[in-house]
Amino acid sequence: MARKTPISCDWRTGAVLKGKKPPKENKSALYKHKGKFRWQGIKVEKYKQSSGGWADTARQTLIGNQGETAKFHVRYFEIAPSGCSSFERHKHEHVVICVRGKGKATVGRKSHAIDFLDTLYISPGTPHQLRNPFKSPFGFFCIVNAKRDKPKLLTA
């Protein structure tokens, strides 16, 4: 199922923020897994639209860009070897579930190794960053609030 209007999950670029309304239809949908961590009808996007201390990270928004009224978004991120997310904090929370490879997470002052099906909860206001120091891709589902605040980028 192809989307008619691309909508970014990035807080800066969503269609609602550009004065456009998201699709009004809220229909049940199945996004078939096509293999290699790609889903039918779901576009692979840049992690964020501008630079900010991140590298080699891609995002797919599975739930949250197709007109759903859910109070959460489900996204799949993949960090290539030697890549990382931005080091940031914000008022919303995250649930991260590793489904491919392994990675490392800095959450507050703690460092965690993350492996297949490990689940990480990141509380509101906690500085965090996900990294991939390994030789294989690190992929994870990230569940966040549909309404989110602007992240504050931090320095390591």
C-alpha to C-alpha distance for 148 and 133, rounded to whole angstroms:
28
Is 84 tagged catalytic? no
The structure tokens listed for 125 are 């206001």
Extended beta strands in the chain, E state: 33-35, 38-39, 45-46, 55-63, 72-84, 88-89, 94-100, 103-107, 110-114, 119-122, 128-131, 138-145, 152-153
> How many CB atoms sit inside 10 A of residue 22's CB?
17
* Residue reference for tokens 């900010």: 52
Quote the CA–CA distance of 132 and 122 in Å, as a whole number: 18
The torsion angles phi and psi of 16, rounded to 5 degrees, stand at -60, -40
Give catalytic residue positions. Answer: 142
